[in-house]
Structures are given as structure tokens and as C-alpha cells.
Chains A and B, each alone.
Chain A
Amino acid sequence: MPLKNDGKIRPDGIEKVTGSLKYLTDRRMEGMLYGRVLRSHYPHALIKSIHTKDAEELPGVKAVITAADVPGLNGFGIVTPNQPVFCEEKVRYMGDAVAAVAAVSKEAAEEALDKIIVEYEELPILDTMEKSLAKEAAELHKEGNILHRAEQKRGSAEEAFASCDVVVEETYETPRQMHTYMETEGGVVVPEKNGGITVYMGTQHGLKDRFQLSRILQMEEENIRVVSSPMGGSFGGKDELNVQPYAALLALKTGKPVHIHNSRKESVRAGIKRHAMKIKMKTGADREGKLLAHQTYIEADTGAYATLGPAILEFAVEHASGPYDIENVHTKGLSIYTNNGVAGEFRGFGGNQITFALEGQISRLAAALNMDLHDFQAANMRKNESPGPLGHRIAPTNGGLLVLEAAERIRKEKEAELKEKQPPGKYIKRGIGTAVTMHGGGLGYGRLDPSGGMIRLNREGKIEGVFGFEECGQGIVAVIENTLVQAFECRREDVCFLIGDTEKVPVSGSTTASRGTSMVHHAVQRLKPLFQQQLFERAAALLDKSPADFYTGKGGLYKFETREQAITYRELAEAFPEKTLEVQTTFDFPVTPDEIDSGHFLYTFGSVVVEIEIDMRLGVVRVIDLQHAVAAGPVVNPKGYRGQVEGGGVMSIGYSLMENAAMTNGQYDTDNLDTYMIPSIQDAPAEMKVEAIEDLYENDQYGPRGVGEIGTVAVAPAIAEAVFQAIGTHITSIPISREILMKLGRKENRYEARV
């Protein structure tokens, strides 16, 4: 059943629709200065000298800082901190920071940037992976030009190809996609009396920012407070540090709050992007349509620095065989440094690229075998107890088959609808396409993945869920609220949440990898009995009863005997003003028991059905309809669930049809939203359906899974499949080239028009 509106309102909603919500970039403070960062003039160069004197002497300029002003580690990066806060000797991409200024006005800061003189000696630009891999290439880092290699092997694909009746081989290319959160990076950093700082800047993991900043500033973590929510979108793009270090250093140097808010141009230039990948796949099956062998080679352009490049590559490697049972799989991947923009975390985390390639292979094989795509997919779909894609144990699941069947049902319905529709105009071709995917949640085996949370009865007598998660728009606040309401069977007014402030929240881990919803659920399940027990004991003491006499309900505790309210939450809180009632838990995201690097344990499944029309004159593809089926366990927040999947879907329409942060000579071709196009309201289907498959496989104890990413993963291959269905041609790269489609159309139409 498609998801419907549950009539509930998000707790942060009223502030958002009235424009009264202060985003962190909206904050203004007394005596605040404006900061700006000077970025490199070249994609690759040696820094010969930096002269800041002229800038310092400008009226209104309060500080100019460079590498010399970094007290601690001059580097950041969630895993490997090899991105300099300020470059000292060498710049490796256009977004590299060289200096920063703080001034009394934006104009003065801007002028100061112009006055900083940096002398460079240009170096050859490694603007393609090919150039970086060449023998004579300069080494961008001391470890060379390969950030990471990943390899996974099961059976022997190389040998198994011999016994395949059909083998298809293809190279796929995917673009560097920009997150394009509508709120660009920024906020304010405030120096505190105790010598510490408060950082009001968005991130997906406040505690991690605190850790990274403490390393840079050489300051105890306790002295750094990070307030990191709400954000105007992130999609993975704000997980890594961006302008926090600059504002922090400037605030400490000037003793004043420093505000930095990237312009879109600066955001494009310095911000991370989705990895552009080149993926070579060779896949074989026997005559009956059983997949026998699958070989993949991935090259990911990771740009100038590490950030999460290795993990993303590993994710892609893990998901190379997707939801299919294939005995012989061999996957290799390289994450390659270049002088291009830094690539890092982005919703889907390598899954989008690899799924585009994999589903492309599946479609090509089905065609080669003359089999129906669905039948071919179904014949090879993983079984409930099949091992995970790395041959490791995972939580048993039938999600793959369920989403596949849903897609097939929807496809058939749509096909019937199409027959009823007016035939399209002469130049228009129609097609319906489907694709499926399987997507791991959590960080994977071998990565510290702690989570946790806290529930307390606060002073106002509200049940407060306290988490280290961040609100980027995805609706974690609604998830917390709904989960608490459900757990305690209370009213919405009885609960509240506290997130996004390192001073006040426990470790929950990052708000990434589709883990938020799932971790809130786990935490509340663990905390519920503890919290209730404490509530009951308090009530028992107050009312001279036994703890076992009570249960939680709307507005307070009730007595089993009479089903009547015994005491309100507020009364319970007020009765013990000194002693807050609080329970806390920590635990790890569930992982596979098998020792296998990066292997996931909990997976979600998604299928996509799209209907497209191609204007063959111009090669323009329009998505007429986009439907999803998602198997991610029970729905905690229907509007959030639907919104994440619909929104993710449209983001991937962009990925498939128009988005490419292309670079030439290490410079972005597009520097703002007038050239980098994301889907407008007319590029998205006006109505979309999202089918949530809530049933979990028997005995599954893991509850709801996150759906932050799954809606983005299988859209591109579904569109590619629809193109194939429409015109019989398999495309190999996205965004889909209009020129290629048009040339196909031109041949046909010219012929038709002339006879």
C-alpha cells in the first residue's frame, strides 16, 4: 500500500513554515566579525610566499591567518586528516585554503582577500584518474596517488566465465554530483570566557567535529561545544569539516564571534561531491539464466584529499554484486587522488554508482538471454538466508524478493495504463524501467560504530529523548518523537527531544549511513524498561503503591487496577526537583559476526519503477512517473519516510539526467545554480507513490531501518532501463547524453520524414 499522510506534524514544523527558525547561518551576535577564506588560485601549485601585510592594514580587518596560526594539527579528515586547514607548501585543488580573514563587514573581508598576495609556482595538473595513475605522474601525497585499494573475492570469477553461456562486459561512468543543500556551509563561532569556544555550525556528527577541532586547535574537547542542528540540508555533504576551523581560529585570535557563511560559489569550489566513478564489469550467466560470475573494477576520482574516500570505495566494492546470489565474484577498486574537487560522503555512499553499473549488467544479460528482466532478477535474487554480498552472515531477510515483486506488480499496472493512454507524438518514445537494490546500513564491520541515547523526565515533566543525532531536514526529530510516543503510549505533548549540542547529548554516532532511525529505535527499546522502572518506583514511593501497579500512558502513569491516571508526568517531575530521572545507554550498531572488512549486517531493499518519455528530436528524457517500493521494516514517521524516498528519488532524477559538476583542468565548469542544474518542480513527477514494505523477516529483532539513502540508489538504473525499453539502446553513462539519444532519434526520424 502506498504511504499515506498520518496527519502528524513535525515538531520543528511551525518554526520552519513561518520562517522563524534560526538556522545557524542566520545567527548574528553582538560584536560579530565576518570571516572569509582565501582559496587556492590553482588546482596544483607550490606556494612560494604569502603576503598578508596589505590585508592586515586595511581598515576594518581584525585578523588575517595562515598555516602559521594553527596551534595543533594542520589537517582534517574524518578518518585520515590529510587535508590541510591551511596549505603551507603546496595546493592540490582549487578549494584549498591558504589564508582567512576576519573583518567588521563582509565587504571589508572581501577586500582583504583581494589584498593577500600569494605567489605560486604552477605544477602539472592531474585532472583525470588516468593522469594520476600514469607512471610519470607527480605524487600528490606521500603515499602516492592511490588513496585506497579494495578487493573482495569469492569463488573464482575468472574461471567461471569459461562455463558461462553469455558474458557481457561494459564500462560505466557516473558523474561528480553536488549535494546542493540549499543552505550553504556556515554559522558562527563564539569565543567563551573559559578560553573555549562554541561552534554554531551544521554537521552530521557534532562530537566528531569537536574531536577534529580539538586536534586542530590543540584544545581540550571539553572546552569545545558544538551546536550543529538544524541544518538546511546536508545529504552527507556537511559530515566532514568545512569552514568550522577557520571561524574557530579567527574567533580565538580576535576574541570576537566570527561568522562565516559560504556563498554558493565558495561552496561549489571547496565543498565535497559525490565520487565520479568509472566502473568496468564483466558478468556471465548460463543459458537458463543463472548468474555464475561477476567481475568488477572500479576507479573512483576522490580528488585531492582522503576524507571518507576509502570507506566509500569499500561500500561500492561490497555492493558490486548487489542483491543477487552469485557464487563467483571478484571486485577490485581504486580510490585515486587527483587535482579535482574533493569527493566524499554523499547519500548512497558509493551504492548509487555501483548499482547503476550492476543493474545495467543485469539488463544487458537478460536481453542477451532473451529473458524477461524481472524473471532474470527473480531467478538470481538472494534467498532469505543467503549470505551477504561478501559471503558473510547478515540478518536474514526476504526484502529483496518483496521489493522485486512489488516492482513487477507496479510495472504491469503501468504497462496496462500506458496501453490506455493516447499514443505519444511522432517524436516521442515511451518506456517503463525498473531496478532493484540492496543497501547496507551502519558503517560496517571493523569500523567503530557506537551509538546510544538518553531518556529523561525533564523539569517540565516531559519525557525527553536526548541523542547525538543531527537534524539535516530528514526528520530525525519526528522519529524521536514518534518512537517515544509509541514506546510509552503517551501523547505527543508528553515528549520532547534534545539533539545537536555536544554539551548536552550522549554519544549516538554519526547521523549518516541510514543509521539514525534504526539507532533511535534500538536506544528507546533498551531504555524503555529502565526508564519505566524508575518512573514506577518514584510513583510507588509517592503514592505508597508497588512499582508493578503502574503503566505509562497519556499524560502520566496509570494504575492497572482501575485504569485510571495515578499521577501526571509533571507531578512526578515536580515531586523530585533535585533528582532528575535519567537513563542512558550505549551500544554498537549491529554488525556481522564474520570478520570481514566493511561488511554490513542490516540491509534495506528498494525497487524503482519509472515511466519516461524521450523527445527523440532533442534526446530529452522526461520522467513521467517514479514509484518506489522499500523494505526497511516498520515505518516510524510516514511523512518523513515518504519525503525521504520521494526527495531522494528526485535528487537521483537529477543525477541521471542533468547533474554533473564537471571539471576542466581542475576547475569546476559550473560555479553556481545558474549553471549547475538540479531538478525543478517541473522535472519531477507531480505525484509519486512510495510503497513501504513493513514486514520484517521472521524473528528479526532489529526493528525499523533508516531510509535516508535507499530512495536515491536505484533510480538511475531504472531510468537507463526505461530508455532501453523505449528505444532498444543501453546507455553506459549518466547523466544520460542527449546527444547520443538524439543521434539515434535523428536516424529514425530523418528516415521516416523523407519517405
Chain B
Amino acid sequence: MSAAASGPSGHASGTASADRPLLSIADLAVDFGTVGGPVHAVREVSLDIAPGEVVALVGESGSGKSVTALTLLGLTRGPRTTVRGSATFDGLDLLVAGDRELRDIRGKRIAMVFQDPMSSLNPVLRVGVQIAEQIRAHEPVSKGEALRRAIDALREVGIPEPADRANRFPHEFSGGMRQRVMIAMALSCRPELLLADEPTTALDVTVQAQILDLLMRLRDERGMAVLLVTHDLGVVAETADRVAVMYGGRIVEEAPVEPFFADPRHPYSWGLLGSIPPMAGARPERLPTIAGTPPSPSALPDGCAFRTRCPHAFENCAALPPLVDHDPAHADRCWLPLERKQALRDLGDGRIGLAA
């Protein structure tokens, strides 16, 4: 990382993690009761985010990424939910904070972009009014001023004719426009921490690049921290300082972005990196996948949750491996000796993957 220019390319990975964390999650566990039995959605998740840091949370569909983010804002609370652990934000444990305390923080100091835009927009309110109300809930500004800021926010996320569009209802927007409305709303109160759950899935790559530029600019200018939940490893490589990989409710690997791509340590990470469809060269008839089906979240195997699908599993894996730091800031949860991993993950011609 020698590029010293401004913007995302200039931000050396890991520099921010030396600061005091803005958010510190420790041993988070979330269980849900369902008619089919208890679901252990998140277990033993610990993660720090420093001011100005971008931490990518990646991992298997259903591994607990959204539940982790939602729980931080109290949005999974309910009679059938059990939450354990702590999540300290500026001295306050978000997991036990009262509804009022949380409401003051939510939207103002910590904002969230939800994975499902439609479910978090009010279908019967004009989009501009929704953003303006969000601003007025946290700042003493006039209606007119709030609406003007809402229109600016829409312009900033690339919505054409923002003043006209502010007068329209969510169903009149395309999928990607709704996603950008949510981003505009989340950014409108200048949060210190943005929880962005798949914020660019509905965007074409050129608009996505503009949105990522915007997020990186806010990071550089205001020191906004971002927890970026995404499955797009290209986006991770472009924007993240650090990467945490989840599987079966747990973090199985955590590393600064460059070592994650160059020297991934957990076999699930190898499988993930090996499944990326190539953008050049011959098109394979079938893409490599991870064999087997993901374990049911209500019946996760004992020990390493990945062992039922891991071609390198051995007897130790029946016990849960700890998350161990082998290098500073690069941890993984796997019993395989570090020396063997390099050979096991190598697919030849420089590619990393999970050979069957």
C-alpha cells in the first residue's frame, strides 16, 4: 500500500486498528426460538471496529452476519430471542441499553442500511419526507431545511432529478434506487458508525463504484467507521481494512485485507475464494463449490461446524477449535497446523481453493 493519494486506495490497511475501538463486540451470542426448535444464529462473536475503519463481514448465507448487525441496534429483541455477551459503543453496552438510549443512538450515531430495502421503507410515505423525518428525529431543523437536506442526500447517491424523486413513493423506485434511498437516509445524520448490510447488491457496478467512493470519502473526511456485510469479494478487496469470515454463527477467520486474500488460513475461506467466477480466461463448465450442504442452524455439528464439509477434517475437528492469532491480527479457527495449510489450499497455477 504505497499509494499515498486520498481516497480508498490511500488508506493503508490496519492503520486504524491501533486506535481505541469505537465499537467492541465481545462473546456475542444470539438464539431464536422457532416452532422447529432453537436456532443458534450467532455464537462467540468478538470483533472491534476503530474510528475510520472499514471491517468487512463475509461468510455463508445464513451464517449470522445480519443477525449480528441487527442485534447491535436492538433490532432482534423479542420474547423468543436470547442475547448474550456485550457490545460496547462509547462506554455504553448496546445489548443491555434501554429502548430510549438506543433510539437516541440509532440513526444518529450508528446508522444501518438494511439488507431488505423495501421492508425498512414506509410504503405510504413520500421518500423525501421519510428522509426528512429521520433528520428531524435527531436534529432541531425546520421541515423545509430537512427536506432540502434530504434532496441533497438523494443527489449524493446518484438519484436522477432528486427534487422530483423526493416527492414519489418507494414503489415508484427501482430496486437499486430504493437501496440508495436507504443509504441516503442512513448517511443523513452523519453517523460515526455505519452498519451496511449488503448495501450495493442491487446496484450496477458503475453506480456501486460511486456509492463506495462516497462511503470511503465519508470515512476519510469524518472518520466514519463501517461494518460492511457483503458477499462481493471484489468490494471487500476494494474497500475493507479488515475482513472477518463467518460460518455457522461463528467467526472462523479474521485478518487484514491483504493477508486474507494472499494467505487465507481457514478451509472455508479457501472454498469461498475458490468459488469466485472468473472474469477472464476459459469459462469452466461448472463452478467449484463447497461439497455438501450447510449444516442446519438448529442442528450444528459439535466441534468445528465446517468439518462435515471439509475435505481436510481429521479427528481433532470433533472438538471446537479456538480462534487463535498465529500472526498479529490474523486469527483463524482451525486445528490444521499452519505449515500444512499452504500446501493443502494450493490448487496449482497460483489459485487458492478447497480441493475435494
Q: Do A and B come from one complex?
A: no
Binding site for B on A (CB under 8 A): none
